[in-house]
A and B are shown apart, each in its own frame.
Chain A
Amino acid sequence: MTMDQYAETFREETLELLSELEVGLLELEQNPEDVDVIGRVFRALHTVKGSAGMIGFDEISQFTHEVETVFELVRSGGLPVTGELVNLTLAARDIIKEMLDKNLGGESVDPEIADQLVAALRGLVPTQDDFSANGVAEAEELITSESEEATYHIRFRPPANIFHRGIQPQGLLQELSRLGTCRVIAQTDSIPRLDELDAELCYLYWDIILTTEHDEDRIHDVFIFVEDDCELKILPINEDLLAQSGEGGRLGDILVQHGDLSRDDLERVLQAQNKPKLGEVLVQAGVVTGAQLDVALEVQAEVKRQKQKREAVEESSSIRVRSEKLDSLVDLIGELVTVQARLSQTSAGQDDPVLNEIAEEVERLTWEMRDHILNIRMLPIGTTFSSFQRLVRDLSQELGKEAVLVTAGAETELDKTVIDRLGDPLVHLIRNSIDHGLESPEVRHKAGKPEQGTIFLSATHSGANVILEVRDDGGGINLNAIRERAKSRGLLTSEMETSEAELINLIFSPGFSTVGEVSSVSGRGVGMDVVKQAIDSLRGSIAVTSVEGKGTTFTIKLPLTLAIIDGLLVQVAGEKFVLPLSAVEECIELSRQDVASANNRNLIKVRGEIVPYLRLRERFRLNGKPPEIEQVVIAEAMGQRVGFAVDHVIGEHQTVIKALGQMYRDIKGLSGATILGDGTVALILDLPPLVQEAEADERILTDSVH
């Protein structure tokens, strides 16, 4: 339905009301004090104004409002019905009619006439009421000024009869939880004994610790319908609040501040305190409840956290630098690293102790500087996280799911470039979790789960890597559906035996999706394969585990930085290549006999296990014959062990990555280039696409499995 159709309804309705208005006004001329008729006239105006406003006929709405205001005064006895009033109102009725015709394509109304009429109507009103106060103000959109995150302690005690107003406190708490990270503690100390309990009354009250980027007004908005009748305290939690004390605010002070504990009770208990934990003593003494203590402890923890955060911010709050400047600094250090490598190489070839010493010193300084510069580019991932709150909220609404996002490790640092390029894949995974992972509230309810599903997003450091996790407590991945799908797509034959892990990883295959119909959210033509590609391009890996009925976990492993990798330098047909060392497991010699004994198939035995390998010489169509004894670099790619046969392994090499650029964007199997100590350029291999291509060509995967 469109506005046009509303307009048609509105026109019919308004014409009817206008004739009612006319009849009413004529009646009033005869009986100026007939309250019923005054009511009818008022209501007709009122309805015209309301309806016009609803469908955006603002001119009619505003004009009618002026007339209505006068009649409201009449209705309340503040103004008598006079001949003049009736005349003016009749004229106003005609103007409304004209405006209606105009909106539906008729002649436009002379605004001067309308203004004059309004002025004349206002002139009838004795006291200067505020005419401009239009009832619209309150319906102003609830747009909030987004600001920095703050934490609030909210005490919400609804009126006992809240149920009789048709309001469920859970709804309000749920709405609150959409504003940010929320911890809710229910206080049960007001529940009476069972024989005194009235099941229709609400005895609970709640303490909520909410960390949100919305302001206090937005929190008030959640409670707008109950605020007048309930006890609502919203206290920002900050350090100043409890500045004087050491351990993030003394527990006793917090409880007193909440009104849960009187200063006298505190003093009394403190005197009796013999240095065990105050909280326990207070609970034992029966002056506060366990739940009240929980709240105070939570607040205490929050204050501590804020203090740490502030200190962290202070540490890093010095200057802002454009990221381009950092990028050029990284480029420069890359060049320096290259030059330094040449210096080391040159000095090593000469028996000059002074030169050697200088070269070593330069090497040390260069690496130190490199580490510092790369460190500057590290940013906490938290900024990305917070934008997902909104995403989860909007998506779950769109999909009729109930979901909350819980995040951890927002302070984990990653290279800016990695963070920038991580956004899309993470959005996709979260969408996927809400769309395919979480069940509908009804299904969850039946399964005995809370109706609200949880998406858990976390980041942690692990050596030179960062581990990201996207976990949901949904229905898990249906392995049978994957199996069927894979068979229908020819990814799997019925004879093939596959482990659960192999099966589940098929979701990363191009074009794979188990959901029959395409939903508007996840089904935008982007599948898990795109997520995998994005992660691969960041030189990371992604894995998935799932427990049916319990949920799914995606684990992403990423390098801390994209600018530099540890590589293994190899040589094939005179050309040098670099393999990312993180993927390399070991190197093995391959003799002609080995090749012969494997019937010339590209398979090699690595401590009893058969590993397929591919020849870089063949892959890259390089000339020349391989040496008698080749080297096979065993690496992990695409979740399996694969060998790469090369002529020589030169050694480990720390490498500054240079992009190959736009002109080589379609070349697969290379992730970039690097400049070697001798000034020549070596290409960096991108293993997964190489393996994928080889698989496509030769099906080495299936050969090896059987």
Chain B
Amino acid sequence: MEFLTFKLDGDEFAVDVLKTREIVDLRSVTKVPQSPDFMLGVINLRGSVVPVIDLRLKFGMEKVDAGQSTSIVVMDVLVGAEKVIVGAMVDSVEEVMELDESQIEPAPRIGTRLNTEFIKGMGKQDEQFLIILDIDRVFSTDELAMVQGAAEQPAVAE
């Protein structure tokens, strides 16, 4: 299986390469009012309006200013029964790598910073751990379809 790997707050993550469409540079994002912070907003992707989420915030990590290597990984995600194109903002995109089934271990119950529900397994390469994400879960409807009240935080402007 092939995976696309990227970094978030020092940790390395991986998603099934078949789920990804393309990688684009960070561009002007329009915030949608009354949505939670981790939902960054929408971008124009060659004439389509595509929602983007900030994976750092989604995983409860600290927010940082976007840097040179900040990218958006555009993916096909199943939200409910519908296929949706979604962008995920990450610190940097690393590489596409091959992993055997044997190199993948089940997700640990504890010991990771994020909700184990989002984790498909742990990959191991050169003594380094990779967190393989179940990206459909990360974008699952229940998590994202927010109520108005959830947006108490001041929204981003300018």
Contact = CB atoms under 8 A, between A and B. Distances in A.
Complex contact flag A–B (Cβ < 8 Å) = yes
A662 B151 contact: no
Given A666-B146, A681-B49, A660 B42 contact: yes
Contacts of B43: 681
Contacts of A666: 145-148
A683 B32 contact: yes
Contacts, number: 101
B22 interface: no
Contacts of A573: 157-158
A667 B41 CA distance: 12
A670 B31 CA distance: 12
Nearest to A672: B49
B34 A620 contact: yes
A659 B50 CA distance: 10
Contact of B86 (A574, A663, A680): A663
Interface residues of A, number: 37
Contact of B28 (A338, A339, A662, A680): A680
B35 interface: yes
Interface of A: 331, 334-335, 338-339, 573-576, 619-624, 658-670, 672-673, 675, 679-683, 693
A659 B49 contact: yes
Nearest to A680: B28
Interface in B31-82: 31-35, 39, 41-44, 46-49, 51, 79-80, 82
Nearest to B33: A620
B157 A660 contact: no
Interface in B138-156: 139, 141, 144-148, 151, 154-155
A663 B148 CA distance: 13
Contact of A673 (B49, B154, B157): B49
A669 B33 CA distance: 9
B141 A675 contact: no
Report which residue of A574, A575, A682, A693 has the largest number of chain B beta carbons within 10 angstroms of its beta carbon.
A575
Contact of A667 (B32, B46, B48, B154): B32
A662 B79 contact: yes
A621 B158 CA distance: 13
B25 to A, nearest CB: 13
B44 A663 contact: no
B66 to A, nearest CB: 16
Given A575-B30, A622-B155, A664 B51 contact: yes
A699 to B, nearest CB: 18
Contacts of B35: 664, 667
B82 A662 contact: yes
A483 B145 CA distance: 37
Given A621-B33, A663-B79, A666-B146, A574 B157 contact: yes
A659 B85 CA distance: 12
Contacts of A335: 46-47
A341 B138 CA distance: 37
Contact of B144 (A663, A669, A670, A673): A663
Contacts of B139: 663
B151 A621 contact: yes
A675 B46 CA distance: 10
Given A621-B34, A660-B42, A683-B30, A675 B49 contact: yes
B97 interface: no
B84 A682 contact: no
Contacts of A331: 47-48
B158 A665 contact: no
Given A620-B155, A666-B145, A681-B43, 9 more contacts: A335-B46, A573-B157, A621-B151, A621-B155, A622-B155, A623-B155, A660-B51, A663-B51, A668-B34
Contacts of A659: 49
B32 A623 contact: no
Contacts of B41: 681
A623 B155 CA distance: 7
A385 B41 CA distance: 41
B82 A680 contact: no
A543 to B, nearest CB: 28
A574 B44 contact: no
Contacts of A675: 44, 47, 49
A664 B146 CA distance: 8
Contact of A660 (B49, B146, B155): B49
Nearest to A334: B47
18 contacts: A331-B47, A339-B47, A573-B157, A619-B33, A620-B33, A621-B151, A622-B157, A624-B158, A658-B48, A661-B49, A661-B51, A663-B86, A667-B148, A670-B33, A673-B30, A679-B28, A679-B44, A680-B44
